[in-house]
Amino acid sequence: MCTPGDVEYRVNRAEISYVITDSENAGKVEEVADRCPTLKHKILIDEELDGWINYEKEMNKKSRYLGRDEVEPTKKDNRSPPST
Domain boundaries, the chain: 4-59
Q: Supply the DSSP string of the chain, one letter for each residue.
A: ---HHHHHHHHHHHT--EEEE-HHHHHHHHHHGGG-TT--EEEESSS--TTSEEHHHHHHTS-SS--GGGSPPP-GGGSPPPP-
Q: Cβ distance 41 to 17 under 8 Å?
A: yes
The tens digit of pLDDT for each residue in 29-59 reads 999 999 999 999 999 999 999 999 999 999 9
Its pTM surpasses 0.75:
no
Gap between the Cα atoms of 1 and 6, Å rounded: 9
Confidence band for 81, pLDDT divided at 50, 70 and 90:
low
